[in-house]
Amino acid sequence: MNTVQKEKLSSKKYKKEFITAFNGDDSGNLTPRQTPGMLYSKAIPTPVEKVTLLAWSEELAAQLGIEKPTDQKEIDVLGGKHIADTMYPYAACYAGHQFGNWAGQLGDGRAITLGEWETETSKSWELQLKGAGPTPYSRRADGRAVLRSSVREYLMSEAMHYLGVPTTRALSLVTTGEPVLRDMFYNGNAAYEPGAIVMRTAPSFLRFGNFEMLAARKELDNLQQLVNWTIDHYYPHIQDEDKVLNWFKEIVDRTAKLMVEWMRVGFVHGVMNTDNMSILGLTIDYGPYSFVDDYDPDFTPNTTDLPGRRYAFSKQPSIAYWNLGCLAGALAPLFPDTKKLVEVLETYKQVYWTNYYGMMGKKLGLDQVSGEDVQLIKELEQMLTAIKPDMTIFFQLLIDLPLEMADAAAVEEHFNTALYSELNEDEKDQLYTFVLKYTARINANSCTREASQELMRRTNPRFVLRNYLLHQAIEELEQGKDELFTKLQAAIKEPYSDKYDEFFQTRPEWASQKAGCSMLSCSS
């Protein structure tokens, strides 16, 4: 068995392909400002008082060939207090549509990319610090992050990876020894919270907004260069004369399939602005996210998203399509006309629905998905919306559903542990009617019951990182305890097993209205 040769963060020779290829502001001036013509600005992290390692992703480090820091100099790299000789810290310039409105220049206001780490397989991963101080794109903010949001980003990005959802990753979490002032719900109740920094990684953090920025400024040479560079580096298999169109088609496909994965596990991003959409089809920027507890298509975890609920659970696929339309608009100046671009954009719906119904078929344990099965899936969604069971627990109980149920009362009893409230007669009838149709369909499978159940176990997570668990872990950490935090780090790695069934329960009543458990803001 080949072992990856590990290198230290401080002695690695980092690549600088992005900053070498494009114009940037090398002044190091951190004053917030517009940077026309520049794709990035140099941004040296602001040193903190004391960097203390709180969490380290052993598996990701092994994959990248990074040696776990043991001495303080190496740990300081994770907090931006020590910069390796070959690093070039910078913040990227991008724009975006936020809550449907054009926001103009945004950029990395709280993230600083240190450099590109090349692995033994010659693949490069950007190493980026979130919370390491102000950048020219911080506007009125301090560029810092608090422990609360940093724990959430660290754990959830890794949790999504183990769920099988495309995502950026998190390598480390450190505390800074410095308090940070935050108004958690933007309601005038600011308070000091412990500071923290996450080192997150991805092949690229490029977003739809990077391309929107250049198009908005009519910097068409820069736009063409960025498109070509992105294709060459991250889509090298696309090299024909229609490569820009085919590249956009792959982004459409990846984004559609990412939405299917979010819907599969019940993930709600909370702030699907175009500046939070990855050009690689990854889940990026973990802010006011949540998993669905009681099934509600209109659920949004983001207080900023009220009352319109633009980014609610069921709306995510259509928002992704809207965001792709914004990206298409940014690419439009590179085409003589937009007809073909629009045609590619319109393939999104077919890609999404084909993959969505295929995914739902797997969640239900179907051997294939026919037109009649699509109707069954729609009836399932209507029933779930009516009775609002816990999404994760409901699908787990469905796996072991007896194929012969005596009556509606027996069916309700089987699903009882997934229910947040007692069902009325109409709801009982809806559940029973669905179960009768579902068991008849399962009996018609060409595969064995065991094969069907195994498919369901691979598709339906048993453990998801619920907000109330995160809230409890954060409260404990702020009190100097790490027992739950340590347990959650282990549980996220085995989301399809029953090893951590102590967490296999509905959201407790106390968490329904508690700040940080049910609703969150973009504050970090």
Active site residues: 275
Type and span of the H or E element at 328: helix 316-331
The rounded distance, in Å, linking the Cα atoms of 111 and 129 is: 6
Q: CB–CB of 312/295 below 8 Å?
A: no
Number of H helices, E strands in the chain: 17, 13
Verify cis geometry, omega within 30 degrees of 0, for the bond prior to 236. Answer: no
Parallel/antiparallel/unpaired status of strands 90-92 and 40-42: antiparallel
The rounded distance, in Å, linking the Cα atoms of 202 and 223 is: 22
Q: How far is residue 323 from each of residues 205, 303, 345, measured CA to CA in Å?
A: 17, 21, 10
Q: CB–CB of 516/471 below 8 Å?
A: yes
Question: What residue type is assigned to position 479 of the chain?
Answer: Q
Provide the 3-class DSSP secondary structure of residue 144: strand
Type and span of the H or E element at 225: helix 220-234
The rounded distance, in Å, linking the Cα atoms of 127 and 117 is: 7
Q: Is 173 exposed, middle or buried (0-12, 13-18, 19+ CB in 10 A)?
A: buried
The rounded distance, in Å, linking the Cα atoms of 44 and 135 is: 8
